[in-house]
Amino acid sequence: MHGEGGRLRAARAHAGKELVEGAWLGLRHGREIAPPGSGGNGPGRGVKASLPPRMLPHPMDAAARHAELCETLRRHEHAYYVLDAPTVSDAEYDTLFRELRALEEAHPELQTPSSPTQRVGAEPREGFVKVERPVRMYSLDNAYDEAELREFDRRIREMIGEGFTYVAEPKIDGASIEVVYEGGAMIQATTRGDGKVGEDVTVNVRTIRAIPLHIPDERRFTLRGEIYIRPQDLEAINELRATRGEAAFANPRNAAAGSLRLLDPRQTAERPLRVAFYDRVEEYADSHSAMLEKLAQLGLPTHREHGRCADIDAVLAYIAAFDRRREELPYETDGVVIKLDEVRLRDSVGFTARFPRWAIAYKYAAEQATTRLRTITCDVGRTGQLTPVANLDPVQLAGTTVSRASLHNLDLIADKDVRVGDMVIIQKAGEIIPQVLGVDVSQRPPEAEPWVPPSVCPACGEEVVRAEGEAALRCVNPACRGRLLAGLWYFTRRGAMDIDRLGKSLIEQLVEAGLVADLADVFAVPAQRDALLGLERIGEKTADRLIAAIEDARVGRTFSRLLTGLGIPLVGSVAASLVAQQYGDLRTLLDTEPEAIEATLAAVHGIGDKIAQSVAAFVADPEQRAVMEKMLALGVVATEPVREVVEGGTLEGLSFCVTGSFDRKRDAIHEEIEAHGGEVHKSVKKGTTYLLAGDRVGKTKIEAAQKKGAQVIDEAGYAKLLAGEALEPPDESTETETEEPTEA
């Protein structure tokens, strides 16, 4: 057996050379990394080697031998990576592989894209092409306890009755992927992205030996799955990275996701990536469980841990049994996915805007950890608000290394008596930023003193203020660099101007280089291409893509999105839409006297006096006005489409608050209501006629609606109102049964 240093030296010697040639970088028990031919940790792990003394010409004709070698190597890859049951030693595999490569060099006409020799070979790229997929990859709704799972079951039974089964399967904690086969060949692989648009990572995914390049089925297969790295493999990877002076990966999920986005596929090939497919988009079987079995029969890797459950009690039993043994599995999991097994029934249940109604992810209880609080610092937001942040001794929590956690505001620090040096309890639930829950006072150092809030802004050094009744400190310096950075990020984000490729680090570079000093300067960047190229990690293609994204935003955004991005106090996307409908474009707004703006907007339902005053004050502010005038001078064109209002609309005189999840975006419902003469309220208030409730509506909103006289309706009731039909009075006995939402 190699010594520790010998194994790492052997891996370094072979990872960059032998692996690209097709040999194996084996990892065994998370520790042993040995070169090809060592016999103990590649596809023939545990299989005794019987390497022949030399490679002899095979008597078969070239084409027949080529076909035999390809099939043999694919069979060995499947046995090792999918079945975890190696059938040959590394040395024997390597001998066959080299024979195949030599045969293809002598007979190039025999080489095909699905040959085992063709997994690695593409040159490094400069970026990834975005791909829009025809069928969206949805997220899953979450459940955190038995009550929420039973509520999910109740909704299913309410929609389709009895006589169905569930299938439960592990929720593997990895990187989501879509892989497409056509004519038997793997032709494309894309990341999840936002569900509708992902990035093309085909050349990287081809290097994953668990994924066959060819399957024995000519039909189109669109597969969804999870790419992962086994925990024991991650340990070996991090040991190797340490010898190279590279940072360790925090967890297998980060390692898998990062490996998919490497620009050089030869580097991806060095990572021991695996995959478990869990779905086929095209209908393939009567049930989900049967579909998984069929995929396995084609040689496609699945998790092999699913179970059919007759009812929700069986689902709960599966979860309990799975929880007892999930630490033994070769991958990390963060829950269990429960799906309606019968495919034919899924259409009856349908989808919301974000997730299928026929599936849910049971997530394990939020993890907590205890660690030392070293310092408390403050982040500066776009409005100047200072948010205290706990800087901690690094600790593992929910699969990530946590070194910062939110303290929310000054009152929380005082209420919990949080002090520098304390041992604090932190929690991370779902996708939420880690929070400080409390303090272990028994471990408090004797010298620990109550925290004193800063008197000056940490970003600009100007004095901060705390308004009466507020729990936050604010920097009121309009030239504060911290406020500028936060404001630029808010302006360019999705939901506002949506400027692709302009992330936080690049924004900071642009500010540091003096290229951007206010929001309008973003639109001056395209004219400074040479200066862009002088920034770190900015090549010609990156610069050109950024310029194209800015030019697109210059003329391709609505006025409401521009108003949202400006960060006018109290003006979110809904209020911005109302203001934009009133004025149409920025020029018209700026040409209106502030007093007239306030009077006009105060009369618009849904805006009110405070928002009207805020918009008027923003337009009157000389500095803000100068920025907006500069935008117009730089060619920003942002107009608001005029909504057509139906004369004598069926919703005239009615007002709605829309909440919950729907099959379409809420903005579309808002527009429909207004187009038919109705009004939209951001929250339930006195005078709200209806609360239109989608999926998983909070109990608080239901109760508020009832107390204030609003009737709670679903989409069916709303459709009747649109058609001009009258509704039945509300059923008081059932209206309060909706559960609290499981997601923030």
- Tell which residue, 676, 678, 686, has the closest CA to residue 656: 678
Residue type, 563: L
Calpha distance 504→381 (Å, rounded): 13
Calpha distance 689→685 (Å, rounded): 9
Q: Is the dihedral of CA 726, 732, 733, 734 positive or negative?
A: positive
* Token pair recorded at residue 502: 């302009």
Q: Is the dihedral of CA 377, 382, 384, 387 positive or negative?
A: negative
For the entire predicted model, the pTM comes to 0.52
CA distances from 660 to 140, 495, 680 (A): 15, 19, 15
Residue whose pair of structure tokens reads 């609080």 in the numeric block? 373
- Tell which residue, 191, 195, 188, 198, has the closest CA to residue 220: 188
- The Cα diameter of the chain in Å comes to 95
> From the CA atom positions of the chain, what is the Rg in Å?
30
Q: Is 384 buried (19+), middle (13-18) or exposed (0-12) by CB count in 10 A?
A: buried
Phi, psi angles (nearest 5°) of residue 499: -95, 105
Calpha distance 226→205 (Å, rounded): 12
Residue partners of 527: CB distance under 8 A and separation at least 6: none
Distance of CA 16 to the CA centre of its chain: 32
Stretches where the chain sits below pLDDT 70 are: 1-60, 80-85, 90, 120-126, 242, 244-245, 353, 398-399, 429-432, 605, 643-647, 696, 698-701, 729-744
Phi, psi angles (nearest 5°) of residue 287: -140, 160
Helices (H) and strands (E) in the chain, counts: 25, 24
- Tell which residue, 126, 125, 116, 122, has the closest CA to residue 96: 116
Give CA angle at 553 (550, 558), nearest 5°: 165
The set of catalytic residues is 171
The 8-class DSSP code of residue 556 comes to: S
pLDDT in tens, 58-111: 546 888 888 888 888 888 877 766 665 677 776 787 788 888 888 888 888 888
Cβ distance 408 to 414 under 8 Å?
no
Domains along the chain?
Answer: 37-118 (1.10.287.610), 142-229+273-363 (3.30.470.30), 367-474 (2.40.50.140), 481-555 (1.10.150.20), 559-633 (1.10.150.20)
For 634, other C-beta atoms within 10 Å of its C-beta total 16
| Whole-number pLDDT of residue 126 | 65
Residue partners of 394: CB distance under 8 A and separation at least 6: 371, 401, 402, 403
Calpha distance 262→266 (Å, rounded): 9
Q: Is 450 buried (19+), middle (13-18) or exposed (0-12) by CB count in 10 A?
A: exposed
Calpha distance 533→253 (Å, rounded): 33
| Whole-number pLDDT of residue 43 | 54
Tell me the pairing of strands 464-465 and 473-475. antiparallel
CA distances from 473 to 409, 413, 415, 417, 618 (A): 9, 13, 16, 18, 21
End-to-end CA separation in angstroms for the chain: 52
| Whole-number pLDDT of residue 281 | 92
